[in-house]
Structure 1
């Protein structure tokens, strides 16, 4: 069974919608709403069609397809420049140190400050793999193929890239962080606010959220205990991001308190390692396991395969990978070791 990542099309709406219903909430980039998903796919169509090879305000949607059955079983997204349609808000975890000479005492208070520091960054997000396919490394294929796409279209992406990880969601679908912080000002449940944000954007945060820093010591224990922690299902994703060179630098999602990871785009491991090579042959029986990709924009495809880089600077790949990518000798692929 072979899977390939490809550009999403408008007729992928229904399988993407069915996957969105399985997320359990907290996936702002994948709302279970047909109208919102239709708008995302339309925006992605425009991004794939734009021919100017420069940074813009684009959103790309990719899907993971079973090449034998044609079923869509996963999806992910890339945003070339966040904060262009509306502000991109985060909380920044900071420390305020104060000293009293009379008491001879130093007090350090941790604060949450509402910031737009990450505005203008690129973002990798919206990654979801169907629960029936969570084996065989398909999550890794989804995640790392995005970096190949960035490398292959480098001028369209910013010099800094971020990834937001979903925070802790309780068994009721609520967020202890939201209940302890923003929920006190909005009169909305986490699910209501998360859904509204996914459909309408987060300008309502700017309109209603107090701009003064929040002292963490004044939050309840439940809210404090989840600050900067990923949802249990996102721990593996956080490890993958760290392996790519991303780091948590105190930025939090304003809704669920999950960590926002950041990296310099050119220092992301898979971006830096990816280089174009011409295919010499497609009959490799044994070689280095790799993620291989080809095509530009709407023609992009990525899959697992085997590769052998020749002394002449060409590459040999296996027949299954060639079939998944629809390539032949003489074509060009990009690849990174698995």
Structure 2
């Protein structure tokens, strides 16, 4: 089906194809986010979990497992684990970034407070480890626990890199691999592991998730400068206002002359922003084709993801085709 067919985006098609599994994941999530002793936990969690996200990461776990012919139900626990890890990181991220909006709604830290967001995030991390253990598979425990550690490492690296003009594309890639791609790659890798797929196939699934996650984050960074606020749930220029040195700006800084570099230093490093600065930033990005180059990078990573997935020998060809289409869809928003 064409990607522009209303209601038939690849993630919508995946959701339909995996509807029974996704229903089981959602039921498990609701059951495990409950707390008899602290009612604020399900309140805060539900605010984010029920906010209408695509559940893309857990869906990738389900799709990978079913694509490789998995007949059991432990993939449901792994998918719920992935969603809990993701939700926990979002709660923590919004506190760190002092965000007030997520998916077009007020953030949990704004509605409640920072302490509640941090502690509920901790609770979800704990729940995720309980679910991992219940599968009885030490390798998936190793993969997902490593991913959780890598995510935290990426966030800490970003603290020192985000407002430092010395941050180059290599450092940016390390941050992105930590904060975003680690969970994408783990989500697809455990789908292959749980069904006992050959090692080469598991490696291909991991590579697919890694490249897709990098492309996903690059597109997200690109949309911050040219996206539709209604579609993205965030205002254009939020990253600039929050002084985040993302890939488009890194490319513009690398090509900047002394005057332009002084502008980036004032607005990003020193945080002294004035009226009209965002508009001037957009001019500089356009002057050095930074947005075009960033888009090309995203498309390159998508091609790597598709190449890796093409090495997989699926038991379910339809799911394989949908996961290939999903990679294309990630960059479809910025073509």
Is the shorter-chain TM-score for this pair beyond 0.5, marking a shared fold? no
Point out the structure with max Rg over C-alpha.
1
What's the TM-score bracket when you normalise by the shorter of the two chains?
under 0.3
Q: TM-score, normalised by structure 1?
A: 0.27
